[in-house]
Amino acid sequence: MTTQQAPAIQVRGLEKSYKELRVLRGVDLTVARGSIFALLGSNGAGKTTAVKILSTLLKADAGTARVNGFDVATQAADVRESISLTGQFAAVDEILTGRENLVLVARLRHVGNPGKVADDLLERFSLTDAGGRKASTYSGGMRRRLDIAMSLVGNPPVIFLDEPTTGLDPQARIEVWQAVRELAARGTTVLLTTQYLDEAEQLADRIAILHEGRIIVNGTLAELKRLLPPAKVEYVEKQPTLEDVFLTLVGADGRNGHDRNAGTDA
């Protein structure tokens, strides 16, 4: 293997335009191995474009990007061996069952014993019971979990999650967060994009803010907070948020939530 010491992702001066529109205007970032890195930005900031270039779906106009030590432009096949992409929309085959989806990916990644790989991942993502059902019957959270499970087939060292919780309900969001934390705990590098500030705050070791095609800030949460004027002490009555109320009432543990969702969908 190449350079285990090299950063998982290294990007220098990345530029990309669609006709007149300059989406990326020189993006630099480095993601350390085994860390969770959040790329934060509003809609249209260029997050998806950056992820597509890193996952070899798009060619950059200028700049270099290396993933797992391989250049995305000249060593695309090696990059594809090293990564998994979970796009903005859960890319599962709705007509196949959950298990068939995992077996399909295992075959296409040429890993040994696809059936065993599928069963292990179903177990790990609490989908064993649902494994024999068509993915079209899954709830949003289950579908996203299956989607992420599909990304883990073959244990790629780098995972891209493009807006993994957009459109999910609060419980499903917590399920996905849990899955992402477990990933990082096993040493996988995760680059996730999000437009939710709390998501970056909850998950990321480092956060970069992509704005108008450039990284304007890059650091840990503590470093980012230091950029603002020092905290003032104010007395504020802490009311529960609606989310607190909702999660308390329905049970914040996502793993319980999924059974209930499954029941209503089946």
Partner 1 sequence: MSKHFLGDTAVLLGRSLRHIARSPDTIITTVVMPIAFMLLFVYVFGGAINTGSDSYVTYLLPGILLITVASGIAYTAYRLFMDMKGGIFERFQSMPTARSSVLWAHVLTSLVANLISLAVVVLVALLMGFRSTAGVSAWLAVAGILILFTLALTWIAVIPGLTAKTMEGASAFSYPLIFLPFLSSAFVPTGTMPGPVRAFAEHQPVTSIVNAIRALFTQQPVGTDIWIALAWCAGILVVAYVLAMNTYRRRIS
d(CA 45, CA 230): 28
Helix (H), strand (E) at residue 208: strand 206-211
For the CA atoms of 266, 171, 117, 150, the dihedral, rounded to the nearest 10 degrees, stands at: 90
- Smallest gap from Cβ 241 to partner 1, in A, equals 32
Between 80 and 145, whose beta carbon lies closer to partner 1?
80
Token readout for 111 is: 């890993």
Between 111 and 250, whose beta carbon lies closer to partner 1?
111
d(CA 29, CA 191): 11
Between 131 and 257, whose beta carbon lies closer to partner 1?
131
Q: Supply φ then ψ for residue 108, to 5 degrees.
A: -70, -25
Identity of the residue numbered 235: Y
Counting every residue, how long is the chain?
A: 266
Token readout for 14 is: 């990345």
Pairing of strands 206-211, 214-219: antiparallel
Between 88 and 218, whose beta carbon lies closer to partner 1?
88
- Smallest gap from Cβ 32 to partner 1, in A, equals 22
- Smallest gap from Cβ 102 to partner 1, in A, equals 12
* Residues of this chain that bind partner 1 (CB under 8 A): 52, 55-59, 77, 80-81, 83-85, 87-96, 100, 104-105, 107-110, 150
Between 37 and 160, whose beta carbon lies closer to partner 1?
160
Identity of the residue numbered 39: L
Of 31, 13, 37, 34, which is closest to residue 67 (Cα–Cα)?
Answer: 31
Between 88 and 178, whose beta carbon lies closer to partner 1?
88
- Smallest gap from Cβ 55 to partner 1, in A, equals 4
- Smallest gap from Cβ 83 to partner 1, in A, equals 7
- Smallest gap from Cβ 53 to partner 1, in A, equals 11
d(CA 228, CA 246): 32
- Smallest gap from Cβ 56 to partner 1, in A, equals 6
DSSP-H helix ranges across the chain? 47-54, 76-82, 98-108, 114-124, 140-152, 170-185, 197-203, 221-226, 242-250, 254-265
Between 80 and 206, whose beta carbon lies closer to partner 1?
80
